[in-house]
Every structure is written in C-alpha cells, then in structure tokens.
C-alpha cells in the first residue's frame, strides 16, 4: 500500500518541490539601522520568519501570485505591502516607521509649566502648590517660585514677564475667572480665592498658550477641578488666623458625590499678639462657603458643579503722608480705607467621550463681585477733616460691581498617532457698574453711575500634528469680537517641538494675544480704545532624567496699543498709543535624586523690559518689574518620624519707582530724564515651615508651623510721597511701602476623619 501511494504521488512531487518559493529581505528603521526580532508574515497564512541580528529574514512559501507581506514590531507602525510571487525568489526590503505614542512622543512645552498626575514631564505637581514654605497654601504664592514671575507682594495679581497683574488670567474647567484674587487695599497684596485642594491639574503658561484660551496678554493659569473622591471624609482646620471644616460624601454606588465647606478668617487675635506697623480699625475678616456636586454620567462622562461665596471686610488706618512733616501731632492726619467685598462664583462643566474618537467639553460659569469702598481723611479725633489747607478730598465713596456669565464648548477629534483637531466657541456677558461720591467740605457731590454692558464672542480652532515621535506641532487660530470696542481681532498661534534624544527636547512657540483694556479706562474712553496686543516668541530647552529636570527658556514679547493716559489720577481721555517690550532668559532646575530624601529646585529669571503706558513720561522699566529674580526651594521629610521641614529663599533686584522730588508726572514740565530712574533696595525673603503627622484614634492629624522672613530682612516695595509742602531739607516727604510686619507666623492643625490620609499629610504639609 505504501509503495502504491508513493508511486501515485511521485509524478506530482516535482510540482510540490518547485512551488516552494523563497522570500527574503532586510528590515530597518528610517535611519537605516537594522531591526532585530521583527515578525514577517504573509497575510492569511502561517508562512513567515523573524529578523536576525542584521535585520535579515528568509522563509519559504507555497503561495503564488499576489500576496500581502506584513511586518509587526513593538514601537513601530504596522507595515503591509502587496507583492507578486513568481517562480523566482522574491526580495523584500522593509523600512518601518516609528509608531507615535504618548510615552515616547515629544511634548510641546514652550512657555508652560504643567502640574498633573496624568502627564509626564511634570515640573510641579498639585501637592507642591501647598507644600512650598512661605506660600501659606496659596496657589499664586507658590507659583512665584517659578521663573518668569515677580515678587510684587504690595499689589494684587500675578505679574509675569514684564506684564501687569491684570495680564494674567485664571481659568477653571475651561472658563475664565474674572476676580481670582481677594479684594486688596492700596500697598497690600492679596491671596487667591480658591483652595489648591479642589484642583487635580494645573497648567501655568508664562506665554505661548493654546488658542482655546484668550484675553490674557502675558500668562494663563489653567486649573482643572477634581472628579469623584476616593471615599467619604470630613476635615477640620484650626489655625492662628481662623477655623474651617468640610464634609465630602461619596455615594455607595460611587456614581456621584457632594460636599460642603466653610472657612472663617479673622486676623484680630493674631494682630493683638504680632504688632503691625499700620492700624486696623477692622482686621481682615472673611466668611467663605463652598459646595460641590459631581456625577459620573457614564464610564467616560463627568458632570461637575462648584459654588463659592465669600464676604470680606477690612479697614486700614495709616498716617497721611502729606501731614507727617508738620511736627505737630495734633495736625497729623489719618488715611482711613475701608472695603467690604462680596463675591460669588458658580461653575458647571461637562465632559464626555463620544463615538468615533470624539470628545466634547462644555463649561459655563456665573460670578458676581461687589466692592463698597470708603476712603476718608481723619483728624486725631477720628473726625472727617475739613481742613482745606491740604487740598485733599476728605471722604470718598466708591461702589463697583460686576456680574459675568459665560459659556464655552470644545469639540475634539482624536486621529491616528496622537494627532487631533479641536474647535469651539466662547461667549461672555459682562455687566459693569461704577459709582463715585465724595464730600469735599460740608456737602456731598455724587457723580452719575457708570454702567457698561459687554458681549464678548470668540471662535477658535487648533490641531495637534505629530509627524514622528521626535517632531510635533500645534497650529491654532482664535477670532474675538468685543461689542464695547466694536472690533474684531484674529490671533494665530503656533508651537513646535523637536526631541533631541530620549531625555531632551527643543520647543518653539509664536502667538498673538489680545486683551481688552481694564474697565477703569473703558468707563470713560471705550470709544477711543482698541484691543491691547502682545506678540510672543519663545525658545525652550528641556532635559529630564532620573528625577532631575532642567528647563532653559528665552523669549521676546512685543506690546502694541497699550492704554495711555495723560494724568495718573484721572484716566479720562485714555488712548491706545502705548507700547512696550519684554525679553529675558529663564532657568529652572529640580532635583529629587542627588541628595537622599531631599527635593529642591532653583529658579532664575533675567528680565529686560520697558513700556510707555498710562501716564509714563517715556519708555522705561515699569515699577512692578525687577531685572533679576531667583528662588531656592528645599523640602525634606523623615518617614520614620513622620516629620518634615521646608524652606524657601527668594531674591529680586531693586524695582524702579517714581521719585516725585525729581520727576513728578502730575506737575507741568516734569523732568522725563529722571523718570523711573531710582531703584528700591534688593528684596530678600526666607520662608520656613515644619510639620508633624500623627494618628489620634481614627483621626489623622497634621501639626504645622511656618514663619515668613524669620531673619527680618528689610523689604521696601516703593514710596508714597506727600502732595504738597516740603520738609526741612526742601524735599517732599515720603514714606516707604513695606509689609505690615517684618515676620508672619502661621500655626495650624489639620484633622481628617474617615480616610487614612497619612501619605497625603506627608505630601500636603503646609
């Protein structure tokens, strides 16, 4: 039987043998380097081979005619090629393209510091915002340890790269926040309104930010609120400046959560112990309520609500500078400044991943801010003065109020290889009210209230383009319209990045950024004003390896159409004839590995900036900008003892100020040659804090103590000058603008119930 079978098959054996065709070739990457271990197969068959150390392969197949060769290799895009198999051996040489993936792809980072648990290349995470010594748990104070920021502790706002405080905008879940800072009084700074604990992600852009955001000439702080908590909890806070508590409840289904919180701040007890160099008729006092509600609408969808209400009162009494040099205490007058602020903010956002790789983000917010300001000049009996020798307004009352409603949506389509397109629209309605009244002698003069209504619209589009893992770009454009200015603008944005190797990359960014003038100028001159504009040019280098991060950045920023006013005290007849520039070099280095258990970073900024705006006599370095700024932040925690210490040192060179004895812009024929030529002394500050974590029964408790400027460095931000009458040396009397005390001490106890927050406490120490 066997012999018969062999005889039967023998005539066909030559055909079977001759059908064994050989396919061979070589596989390499785009640089020509051979790839080892690439799987080569014929589609819909088991024929194939694996490349050797030289990237070569060879296998036999019985298939003929047209077939598809497939090559698969980890980290590279799949390869397919149709070939025709004849009776000759086939040679197929294959070039594989590297697959673009999020872990290896270059990151477009020019101008931005990102802090998130979900992104690689993190510079400062969310916990760093509250563990930096001297920040006292304030986001904005912590950000001042990064390059590009100024130590302007005497005024409200975050000043970035030669820009004013109003040139930095804050965004929460995509929508703009109009009043991100607590209302301040003259010559005193203020804190941010929102707790850093409600945010899971932070992007701090010092320039070159995305087309999704607008109305910020210099900088954007982009915050993303947290989603559902891990479990229910309750927290109690007791500090040297107030009390607070919160409750967060997670449903058993873990599909939704809700929470409420309250904080009471009153610095009266603290000021009785730590004497201040000014008198408070009412020390800063505030009541803050907040609430949140979060719903997981699907496996990928989230609906979030956050509400906030704050009421603050502060009344400051300081010596009137004009009356100080009379020598007679009975003639010394007091400047009394009282402000009562009401602020409410509500944010509703929704995010969902749709079919076919689409994602939708919708955000809306509503806010109200009201300031009642009463500024009086009092005599030694606390009576409103009517002494006309000082030629001063004795009683001034200002009421300002703004109400804002905004809506924004973004649609995003994810494409292959991390490429994406996104587009959307934004609308903001702004209602502004301003009333001014003063009592010059015995009668009252009230001006008609100023009311403005603004409708702001924006359209934007943006695309992420990943050419390879080493080259990527972002192209965007934003169009904006202001009903108040009756103008449109078009703002292109472009960023690109090139990955030098697995640890380093270069980034470039360019963009045009527009912002409306401040409302104090729009009230009187909106028909004469245009959008302000800043053009950003940024070059960035980053290196990251084994817990070390180095960032070098240089930039140039050109200002156009800044607000120009003839007289500082009366912003009437403002125009858009101002201009300016800012350029500089910045360094940031963070190291978690060189010294065991120690985390530290160094930040340095060199700033060359000049501008001619407001009532400036010429193009000069503004009074809020220092040429050199440096920060050193060090953190150390001993896990064995549950004890940690933090330290911060800050330096900035002296800032310019107007010397009214040599160049008073409010007098006829001022000396422009001396305008802003004087400098304050250099600024030095040290912040220290220590914390101890302990479990007491079922509660996890953190004890914190912190001190700002423990070495008592003298700090001068500028000077206030008398308006008339000279001192014995023939000069206008002046008084330095300084902190209200050399040191500030913070003591706090933070108790958490329901969750083992030991590790959080280690990280979240203040």
Q: Which helix (H) or strand (E) holds 688?
A: strand 683-696
User: Which residues, including other chains, have CB under 8 Å from residue 722's CB and lie 6 or more apart?
Assistant: 321, 322, 324, 325, 732, 733, 734
Residue 226 is predicted with a pLDDT of 87
Residue 114 is predicted with a pLDDT of 52
- Is 165 within 8 Å of 144 (Cβ atoms)? no
For domain 2-95, which architecture applies?
Answer: Sandwich (2.60)
Give the pLDDT means over successive 10-residue stretches in the chain (766 positions): 40 46 88 85 82 88 83 81 79 83 55 47 56 79 91 92 95 93 87 84 88 95 88 89 92 93 94 91 94 94 96 91 65 86 96 92 96 85 59 68 96 90 97 80 63 96 89 94 96 93 91 95 87 96 89 97 77 85 96 89 97 92 96 90 91 93 66 82 95 78 90 94 73 88 90 63 42
CA 430, chain centre distance (Å): 23
Task: Compute CA distances 276 → 141, 329, 741, whole Å.
Answer: 21, 20, 5
CA distance 528 to 286: 39
pLDDT digits (tens, 9 = 90+) for 186-225: 888 888 888 877 888 788 899 999 999 999 999 999 988 8
Residue 48 is predicted with a pLDDT of 84
Residue 629 is predicted with a pLDDT of 98
- CATH code of domain 112-764: 2.40.170.20
CA distance 197 to 207: 25
The tokens describing 31, both together, are: 């640089």
What sign has the CA pseudo-torsion 170, 171, 176, 180? Answer: negative
Domain ranges of the chain: 2-95, 112-764
CA distance 518 to 514: 13
The tokens describing 735, both together, are: 């008084």
For the entire predicted model, the pTM comes to 0.84
> How many residues in the chain?
766
The values of phi and psi at residue 292, to 5°, are -145, 155
User: Which residues, including other chains, have CB under 8 Å from residue 733's CB and lie 6 or more apart?
Assistant: 321, 322, 324, 325, 721, 722, 725, 726, 727
């Amino acid at each position: 039987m066997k012999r018969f079978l062999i005889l039967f098959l023998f005539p066909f054996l030559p055909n079977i043998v001759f059908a064994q065709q050989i396919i061979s070739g070589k596989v390499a990457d785009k640089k020509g380097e051979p790839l080892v271990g690439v799987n080569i197969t014929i589609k819909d068959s088991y024929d194939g081979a694996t490349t050797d150390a030289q990237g070569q392969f060879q296998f036999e197949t019985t298939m003929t005619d047209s077939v598809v060769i497939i090559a698969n290799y980890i980290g590279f895009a799949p390869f397919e090629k149709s070939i025709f198999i004849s009776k000759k051996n086939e040679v197929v040489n294959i070039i594989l393209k590297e697959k673009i993936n999020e872990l290896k792809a270059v990151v477009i980072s020019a101008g931005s510091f990102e802090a998130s648990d979900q992104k690689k290349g993190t510079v400062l995470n969310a916990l760093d915002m509250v563990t930096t010594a001297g920040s006292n748990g304030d986001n904005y104070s912590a950000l001042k340890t990064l390059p590009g920021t100024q130590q302007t502790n005497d005024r409200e706002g975050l000043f970035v790269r030669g820009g004013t405080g109003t040139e930095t905008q804050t965004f929460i879940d995509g929508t703009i926040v109009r009043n991100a800072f607590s209302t301040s009084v003259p010559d005193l700074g203020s804190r941010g309104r929102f707790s850093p604990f409600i945010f899971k992600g932070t992007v701090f852009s010092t320039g070159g930010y995305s087309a999704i955001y607008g109305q910020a000439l210099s900088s954007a702080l982009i915050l993303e609120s947290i989603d559902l908590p891990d479990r229910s909890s309750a927290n109690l806070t007791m500090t040297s400046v107030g009390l607070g508590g919160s409750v967060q409840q997670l449903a058993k289904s873990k599909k939704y959560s809700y929470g409420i919180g309250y904080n009471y701040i009153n610095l009266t007890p603290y000021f009785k112990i730590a004497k201040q160099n000014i008198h408070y008729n009412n020390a800063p006092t505030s009541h803050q309520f907040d609430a949140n509600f979060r719903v997981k609408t699907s496996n990928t969808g989230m609906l979030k609500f956050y509400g906030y209400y704050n009421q603050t009162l502060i009344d400051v009494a300081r010596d009137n500078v004009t009356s100080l040099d009379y020598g007679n205490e009975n003639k010394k007058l007091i400047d009394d400044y009282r402000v009562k602020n009401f602020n409410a903010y509500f944010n509703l956002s929704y995010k969902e991943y749709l079919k076919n790789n689409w994602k939708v983000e919708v955000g809306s917010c509503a806010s109200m801010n009201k300031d009642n300001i009463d500024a009086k000049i009092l005599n030694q009996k606390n009576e409103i003065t009517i002494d006309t020798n000082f030629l001063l307004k004795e009683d001034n009352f200002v009421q300002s109020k703004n109400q804002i409603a905004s809506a924004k949506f973004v649609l995003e389509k994810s494409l292959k290889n991390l490429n994406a397109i996104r587009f959307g629209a934004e609308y903001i309605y702004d209602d502004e009210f301003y009333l001014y009244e003063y009592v010059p002698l015995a009668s009252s003069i009230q001006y008609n209230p100023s009311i403005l209504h603004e409708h702001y619209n924006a359209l934007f589009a943006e695309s992420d383009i990943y050419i390879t893992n080493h080259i990527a770009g972002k192209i965007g454009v934003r169009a904006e319209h202001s009903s108040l200015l009756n103008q449109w603008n078009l703002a292109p944005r472009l960023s690109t990045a090139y990955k030098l190797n697995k640890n380093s990359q270069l980034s470039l960014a360019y963009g045009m950024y527009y912002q409306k003038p401040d409302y104090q100028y729009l009230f009187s001159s909106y028909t004469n004003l245009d959008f302000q504009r800043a053009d950003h040019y940024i070059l960035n280098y980053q290196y990251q390896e084994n817990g070390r991060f180095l960032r070098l950045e240089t930039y140039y920023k050109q200002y156009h159409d800044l607000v120009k006013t003839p007289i500082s005290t009366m912003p009437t007849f403002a125009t858009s004839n101002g201009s300016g520039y800012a350029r500089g070099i910045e360094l940031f280095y963070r190291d978690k590995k060189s010294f065991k258990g120690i985390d530290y970073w160094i930040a340095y900024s060199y700033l060359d900036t000049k501008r001619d705006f407001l009532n400036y006599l010429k193009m000069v370095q503004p009074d809020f900008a220092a040429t050199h700024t440096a920060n050193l932040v060090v953190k150390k925690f001993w896990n064995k003892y549950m004890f940690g210490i933090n330290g911060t040192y800050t330096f900035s060179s002296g800032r310019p100020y107007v010397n009214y004895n040599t160049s008073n812009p409010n007098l006829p024929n001022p000396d422009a040659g001396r305008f802003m030529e004087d400098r304050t002394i250099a600024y030095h500050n040290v912040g220290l804090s220590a914390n101890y974590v302990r479990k007491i029964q079922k509660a996890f408790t953190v004890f914190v103590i912190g001190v700002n400027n423990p070495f008592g460095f003298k700090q001068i931000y500028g000077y206030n000058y008398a308006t008339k009458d000279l001192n014995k040396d023939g000069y206008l009397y002046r008084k330095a603008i300084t902190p209200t005390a050399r040191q500030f001490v913070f003591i706090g106890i933070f108790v958490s119930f329901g969750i083992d927050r030991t590790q959080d406490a280690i990280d979240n120490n203040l």
